Amino acid sequence: MGISRVAVVGFGTMGTGIAQVFAQSGFEVVAVDVSEEILRRGVETIVSGPFGLRRLVERGRITEEQMREVLSRIRTTTNLAEAVSSADFVIEAVFEDLEVKRRVFRDVDAHAPKHAILASNTSTLSITALAAATSRPDRVVGMHFFNPPQVMKLVEIVRGLQTSDETVEVVKGLAERLGKTPVVCRDVPGFIANRVGIIAILEAIRLYDQGVASARDIDTAMKLGYNWPMGPLELADFIGLDVLLSIAEVLYRETGNPAYHPPTILKRLVAAGYLGRKSGRGFYTY
């Protein structure tokens, strides 16, 4: 199936990056969010953000003319029905809340063409549960980008219980057209990367909390011993400690595996407003 028109629902951190990646790869993109102000800020991020188009121009990676072309392929609207009415592919990146997402999937399903594939960028929610809100569960799939989508190569393609082989193949091909490397997995909590990575990060937090080693030394051990480009505590600060806590809580609840039990120190840091890089302080001070 040929995909050329894409709708991105939710134009926040991930939605803006995903829209940019699609537009840079030649797709026509319509982005949807709930207010004109959010849409305006989203476009500004795509132009001037840390991974935005202006940076690419400054680094000589694209020309001014190419930047204008990419931007001309991105349209924004607050009207979901209109945005998805001619889309071949819809990707949802709204808040990580099952009820909010199910409502979005139901509305998208009602207005998108029958052939359209509906994807979610969820990190922790079940694709099968989202698919159940639609009349086309065979064409619902997870397409999990990592932050920042403009930079990170990995895309996890998540196969819900009813997702068809054809849908998986189309979305794998789509990820490749974006210059990404797709991996395919079943619909389990945390998929692959978070399922493994979050345990390591939480274990690093426990070692830190027990005074086994300093944050620096824990990070150095993993960078030099395991060739991680960032240490687990640096990574925690980068992800955001509030985001990390909520992922750990979901994985603990869903799997019952005590390795995901959120350490008290993580809860206290979040309660204090020490959320990592974005708040200027987490395991490190920025």
Ligand X SMILES: NC(=O)c1ccc[n+]([C@@H]2O[C@H](COP(=O)([O-])OP(=O)(O)OC[C@H]3O[C@@H](n4cnc5c(N)ncnc54)[C@H](O)[C@@H]3O)[C@@H](O)[C@H]2O)c1
Cβ(129)–Cβ(98) below 8 Å: yes
CA distance 164 to 202: 35
CA distance 273 to 286: 14
Residues whose CB falls within 8 Å of the CB of residue 257, separated by 6 or more in sequence, listed in order: 251
Report, in Å, the least distance between residue 132 CB and ligand X: 17
Residues whose CB falls within 8 Å of the CB of residue 59, separated by 6 or more in sequence, listed in order: none
Nearer to ligand X, 7 or 168 (CB): 7
Nearer to ligand X, 62 or 200 (CB): 200
Report, in Å, the least distance between residue 156 CB and ligand X: 9
Report, in Å, the least distance between residue 151 CB and ligand X: 12
Which residue's Cβ has the minimum distance to ligand X? 12
3-state secondary structure of 52: coil
Report, in Å, the least distance between residue 140 CB and ligand X: 15
Which residue numbers are catalytic? 123, 144, 156, 194
Binding site for ligand X (CB under 6 A): 9-15, 32-34, 38, 93-96, 100, 104, 121-123, 145-147
Q: Which amino acid is at 208?
A: Y
Nearer to ligand X, 104 or 236 (CB): 104
Report, in Å, the least distance between residue 149 CB and ligand X: 8
Phi and psi angles of residue 11, each rounded to the nearest 5 degrees, phi first: -115, 50
Closest Cα to residue 161, out of 145, 141, 191, 143?
A: 141
Phi and psi angles of residue 159, each rounded to the nearest 5 degrees, phi first: -95, 110
Q: Which residues pair with 39 in a beta bridge?
A: none
Longest dimension (CA), the chain: 57
